Amino acid sequence: MAINYDQIMSLKSEGAVSSYTDRETMLYALGIGFGRDPMDTRELPFVYEKDLKIANIKTVPTMGVVIASGGGLNLGKAGINFLMVLHGEQRIELHRPLPPAAAIIHDSRITAAVDKGKDKGAVVYVETKIRLKDSGEPLCTLGSSMFARGDGGFGGPSEGGFAPHEVPKRKPDMTFEAATLPGQALLYRLSGDRNPLHADPEVGRMAGFERPILHGLCTYGTTCRAIIQNVCDYDAAKITGFDVRFSAPVIPGETIVVDAWKDGNIVSFECKVKERGITVIKAGKCTLKA
């Protein structure tokens, strides 16, 4: 079954309601590596509600990509072969800092479906807008792309989607590391993505990997954690946008090395894994409050 261009472009989901609590907020922070040292008082606010007050919890901006559960787009109706799909890009624009707990409403739509050719696959772009249920205040806007490797040649446009961010050509202004744990994916999956590729060794081998791989969105969040620590001095509210292009998976237990360039309120970055020297994130862009 091939992609039906008109059908996929008509897909939308409006008015889906979800909620999350301080438990999910702290679990997400733990899943991307905060709280490894329980004596580090700079990290505790991300994983500990001091004096039992939820308002004391700091939120990680990239958590916005996991809070919209339920509803969503039924892409299976459009003919996509999900066995051949890879997460290509992820973006988030924060309209305000995420609250530690909230009821939300989210609307999703397809913004582009690009045909790269019969033997080259297709790229599908999705936008999700999230707002607070009680006030209707905009919370964040998500953008993502899926690389459907087996679905090219459906007759759609050959161009469209996101323009990649260009990182500077000069030597990085700073380089820092973010370690992951061998069991990182087993913890992160509790934030919503229970794909067995990230937990079951047999499924990992069937997909061509020696062991389960880390979720791309865990790599995304872990990199954000590293920038919060090394660029923002643990003030996560400084971040108003975080965009990446995925280029290879991380194996749990590997160390992510971040090369970063700071120009005004824009932090450009690329990431590789220390153990294999493979680039895992390209065209990274972190936008800070001006």
pLDDT in tens, 190-213: 999 998 989 999 988 888 889 999
In this prediction, residue 74 carries a pLDDT of: 78
Catalytic residue among 32, 213, 228, 281: 213
Q: Domain ranges in the chain?
A: 1-162, 174-288
Q: Which of 87, 106, 198, 215 is catalytic?
A: 198
Average pLDDT over residues 61-77: 85
pLDDT above 70 coverage of the chain, percent: 99
- The model's pLDDT over 143-194, given as tens digits with 9 standing for 90+, comes to 999 998 888 889 889 998 899 999 999 999 999 999 999 999 999 999 999 9
| Of residues 80, 166, 164, 165, the one with CA closest to residue 123 | 80
pLDDT value of position 76: 72
pLDDT of residue 1 exceeding 70? no
Is 6 designated active site? Answer: no
Single out the catalytic residue among 64, 152, 204, 216. 216
Domains 1-162 and 174-288 share a fold: yes
Given this model, what pLDDT does residue 85 score? 79
Tell me the pLDDT of the chain averaged across its residues.
Answer: 94
The confidence score (pLDDT) of residue 32 equals 98
Catalytic residue list contains 193: yes
Query: Cα separation of 290 and 277, whole Å?
Result: 34
Q: CA 14 to CA 278: how far, in whole Å?
A: 39
Q: Does residue 32 carry a catalytic annotation?
A: no
Q: pTM for this one?
A: 0.95
| CATH architecture type of domain 174-288 | Roll (3.10)
pLDDT at position 274 over 70? yes
Beta bridge partners of 13: 108
Backbone angle region of 276, left / alpha / beta, with phi > 0 → left and psi within -120 to 50 → alpha: alpha
78 has a pLDDT exceeding 80:
no
pLDDT score of 211: 92
Query: 1-162: CATH homologous superfamily?
Result: Hotdog Thioesterase (3.10.129.10)
Please give the pLDDT value at position 83: 67
- Provide the pLDDT confidence category of residue 72 given band limits of 50, 70 and 90: confident
Query: What pLDDT does residue 81 have?
Result: 75
Q: 193, 253, 266, 278: which is the annotated catalytic residue?
A: 193
Residue 144 is which amino acid? S
